[in-house]
Amino acid sequence: MMGSISKIMIILCVLLNLAPPLKGNKIGGIPILPRQVTVEITNRLSTKKVLSVHCKDKHHDLGFVELGFGQTYIFRFYPNFFFSRTLYFCHFQWTGQTHSFDIYVQKRDEYCFHGRCSWAIFEDAPCNIQGTYSTCHYWKSLMQ
């Protein structure tokens, strides 16, 4: 019994020495630990309207926040490490308008710009800002 445990330990040590060195929390550029995600939501409504935001996931209700034009709401979390199914959704409301959008979908947003998912909220669409590049999405249909 003792001989087989020693052999396993030797093999494990050899494998660890042959593996690429750990850099931060990555092996060869692949994450080994979940990275904290930061979601930023910025009010970019025209005519400087106040934006009401209510975000939550299955287990956490982040409450209501009101944003003046140009203000940003930030929240952080650790996505599910074993199953890529973390989802945060938000309801957005301003004068005469109500919309909904999945602000963080793990499979879509897993590799946001350096762990930071930045969103600009416009009347027409929520837009994901990554450095100098942006991608706008459709609002989700709300059941009436």
Average pLDDT, the chain: 82
Q: What is the mean pLDDT of the segment spanning 108-118?
A: 83
CA distance 41 to 57: 16
For the entire predicted model, the pTM comes to: 0.74
pLDDT in tens, 26-69: 555 555 566 789 999 999 998 889 999 999 999 999 999 999 99
Please report the pLDDT score of residue 1 as a whole number: 53
CA distance 114 to 12: 32
For the cut 90, the answer to whether the pLDDT of residue 70 exceeds it is yes
Please report the pLDDT score of residue 27 as a whole number: 52
34-136 maps to CATH 2.30.110.10: no
CA distance 81 to 111: 13
**Could you state, in order of their start, the residue ranges of all structural domains in the chain?**
1-26, 34-136
